[in-house]
Structure 1
Amino acid sequence: MIIVFDAQCLLCSGWVRFLLARPAGGQIRFASIQGATGRRLLAQAGLNPDNLQTLLVIDGNRSWQETAAILRVLDALGWPWKLAWLGWIAPAPLRDAAYRWFARNRYRLFGRSEVCMLPQPQDAARFLD
């Protein structure tokens, strides 16, 4: 599983740090939208890396965006995070509307770093750029 994320977004970087701290997240790899691999993966999914408003999760030949991406990742973490599947009960248009609002306002609400998140040496192999 590959997660393409905004490495300058403090919320997104926090999400990545959360996943790195979970033992079950060891199979997850990361690519930032600021790197060549992340930009290539976004383009393959038909997304504009210069105006990205979603998280992209790629697992094999399938990909997910917005709340579906988050739910897929939490499922991969195992219990108790699998309970997030209850989120599928809410209609996708409502879940994704809330997601898009947070995505549009993420820098204002959570902040932005002028430099991209750098992984710790022990996690560096999990980052594709």
Structure 2
Amino acid sequence: MTAWPDDDVILYDGVCVFCSRWVRFVAARDVERRFRFTAIQSPYGMRLAQAFGIHLQDPDTNAVVHGGEAFFKSDAALTVLSNLPGWGWVRALRVVPKPLRDAVYNLVARNRYRIFGKYEACFIPDAELRARVME
């Protein structure tokens, strides 16, 4: 993995309605304001995606850099959730085999635009959330 200088950064698809709701979900529960966010469509997000080998035009995963390590797909979601207050119990889901977890993740990821919709342009966060966005 390429070393990344920033920690607790969530990379997401900024035109994906589901992904943008994920960002708002995390931000609302992250009372310590630990996590920061970057859309794959932003200059910072593009650099991060390229460093991790994520296709810019058709991203198939979100990612999180946590503890100096990059996590993808179901590992990324579980890493983020398990670091939110009251959500530590999701660590137990790691007993589910990764191929099975990622199969479910992939099913949702492949159909996210069809099921949840797609914005014409990147989701614009409110002022409070914008302070946590890295562009």
Scaled to the shorter chain, the TM-score interval is over 0.9
Q: TM-score w.r.t. structure 1 length?
A: 0.93
Q: CA deviation at 1:47?
A: 1.7
Residue 87 of structure 1 is matched in structure 2 by 93
Residue 102 of structure 2 is matched in structure 1 by 96
| Residue deviations 1:77-101 (CA, integer Å, cap 9, x gap) | 032x111112111100011011011
Q: Structure 1 vs Structure 2: percent identity of aligned residues?
A: 38
Higher helix share: 1
> Where does structure 1 lack aligned partners over 5 or more consecutive residues?
none
Contact (CA 8 Å) 1:7, 1:117: kept in 2 or not? yes
What are the equivalent positions in structure 2 for 1:6-45 lying under 5 Å apart? Answer: 6-24=13-31, 26-45=33-52
Residue 107 of structure 1 is matched in structure 2 by 113
Q: TM-score w.r.t. structure 2 length?
A: 0.89
| Residue deviations 1:102-128 (CA, integer Å, cap 9, x gap) | 101100011111121111112212001
Return structure 1 stretches of 4+ with deviation > 4 angstroms. none
Change beyond 3 A, Cα 1:66–1:23? closer
Q: CA deviation at 1:49?
A: 1.5
3-state SS of the aligned residue for 2:124?
coil
| Residue deviations 1:32-88 (CA, integer Å, cap 9, x gap) | 011110010011112221221101101243100000000100111032x11111211
